[in-house]
Amino acid sequence: MGFMDTLKGWFGQAKAEAAELSEKAAPMVDKAKEMGGDAFDKVKDVAEDIGDAAGDTFGKAKDFVEDKMGKGDDVVADVKDTAESTVEQVQDKVEGQ
């Protein structure tokens, strides 16, 4: 019984630490998005002038940058989900023994 309690404690702590890490990463992602947004705005102003001469190239570049900016949140969410899922699976297996 003591061994199982120890394992449950370890995996419970791992789950809590994974959640804490994902919470700590969220502000960094927000900051990166903000910095990317500022850079995007600056590039957008210059690109508009070039876009007039370049036709639809600007539209393609804008779509590409917006797509890349949105992927930061997805990556953090995927990492958080995977970490929590893995901890839960291990904890379930340990509890089932």
pLDDT band at 39 (very low <50, low <70, confident <90, very high): confident
Measured distance CA(90)–CA(9) in Å, rounded: 12
User: 33: Cβ–Cβ under 8 A, 6 or more apart, which residues?
Assistant: 69, 72, 73
Ranges of each domain in the chain:
2-91
Q: What is the pLDDT of residue 1?
A: 60
| pTM, two decimal places | 0.30
Average pLDDT of every residue of the chain = 75
Residue with the bigger pLDDT between 56 and 86: it is: 86
Q: What is the pLDDT of residue 81?
A: 79
Give the percent of the chain with pLDDT over 90.
Answer: 0
pLDDT at 28 over 80: yes
